[in-house]
Amino acid sequence: MTKSELLSSSTDNESLTTARYPVICIDGPSGAGKGTVAWRLAQSLGYQLLDSGALYRIVGLKAFEAGLLTANSEEVIDEAALLKLTQSLNISFELNDDSGRVDIIVNGERVGEQVRNETVGGYASRVAVFAEVRQSLLELQQNMAKYCGLVADGRDMGTVVFPDAEVKVFLTASAEARAERRVNQLEKSGQAADYQAILQTIKARDERDENRSTAPSKPASDALVLDSSALGADVVYEQIKSYCQQQGICF
């Protein structure tokens, strides 16, 4: 990708500062397969990958460690302190070819896999309802498209963070299909899994993410909506790849 491919239709100073490379948004609920397809697209295009859920997971985990969230109550103890904590975090990502995910580096330290568990997913969803928290993570996300093409995985990539993205996909699946996938994943890694408990947790998180007042999880009006409930990962990837090609992305 060369600088001349940057999307800037004019040469005034403002558009130069806001110029960016192509962006592919993959939004949708947890477990719909966004992470896998986003990773494969980023790998084959040589794009950066923004795992925006990881940003909210880090904030949720740090808020829990700081005593701003408790395991048993929905309440956030001190919103001003939560915002201060969010602003104090210096977060970056590195593609990790071995794990097929991005490594997250926070204030110079690599964060372990604990950030990926369902408990931390719940903390993330709870801190993500705060408009100020979202606002303070906005620039970091938008800056990631300034130096390289970007695949952005999240809930509000196409609606809020990159409203003029070249490609917007909303990848969804029924809560039941997502719960089944999670059970299979856990069982494969030798862990016990309770389908009903997982289903309830998924539904509760969907409900919060879809109904918050700021940047609720929903398809952008110009997004391709794809239901992966009955589709394998390869079919999902091929369908999204071909949609990207239709929208002018060259593989």
Instruction: Kindly write out the interface string for residues 185-214 of this chain, putting x where it contacts ligand DC by CB under 6 A and - elsewhere.
Output: --------------------x---x-----
Query: How many chain residues touch ligand DC (CB under 6 A)?
Result: 14
Task: Write out the E strands in 67-143.
Answer: 91-96, 101-106, 109-111
- Whole-angstrom distance, CA of residue 20 vs CA of residue 143: 8
Helix (H) or strand (E) holding 225: strand 224-227
Cβ at position 84, least distance to ligand DC in Å: 20
Cβ at position 200, least distance to ligand DC in Å: 15
Pairing verdict, β 150-154 and 91-96: unpaired
Neighbours of 9 (CB within 10 A): 6
- What DSSP assignment string belongs to 192-206? ---HHHHHHHHHHHH
**Residues 155, 27 contacting (CB under 8 angstroms):** yes
- Name 187's Cβ contacts closer than 8 Å, sequence gap at least 6: 193
Q: Binder to ligand DC among 22, 24, 30, 86 (CB under 6 A)? A: 30
Of 29 and 248, nearer to ligand DC (C-beta) is 29
Contact region for ligand DC (CB under 6 A) — 17-25, 40-48, 49-57, 106-114?
Answer: 49-57
The β-bridge partners of 63 are none
Query: Under the criterion CB under 6 A, does residue 150 sit at the interface with ligand DC?
Result: no
Of 20 and 205, nearer to ligand DC (C-beta) is 205
Query: Under the criterion CB under 6 A, does residue 22 sit at the interface with ligand DC?
Result: no
Contact region for ligand DC (CB under 6 A) — 3-11, 36-44, 106-114, 150-158?
Answer: 150-158
Query: Under the criterion CB under 6 A, does residue 178 sit at the interface with ligand DC?
Result: no
Of 156 and 180, nearer to ligand DC (C-beta) is 156
Q: Binder to ligand DC among 121, 149, 158, 219 (CB under 6 A)? A: 121
- Name 88's Cβ contacts closer than 8 Å, sequence gap at least 6: none
Cβ at position 122, least distance to ligand DC in Å: 8
Contact region for ligand DC (CB under 6 A) — 74-82, 93-101, 148-156, 176-184?
Answer: 148-156
Nearest residue to 20 via CA among 134, 166, 160, 227 = 166
Task: Write out the E strands in 22-68.
Answer: 23-27, 48-51
Query: Under the criterion CB under 6 A, does residue 154 sit at the interface with ligand DC?
Result: yes
Q: Which residues in this chain contact ligand DC in the complex, by CB under 6 A?
A: 30, 52-53, 56-57, 121, 124-125, 128, 154-156, 205, 209
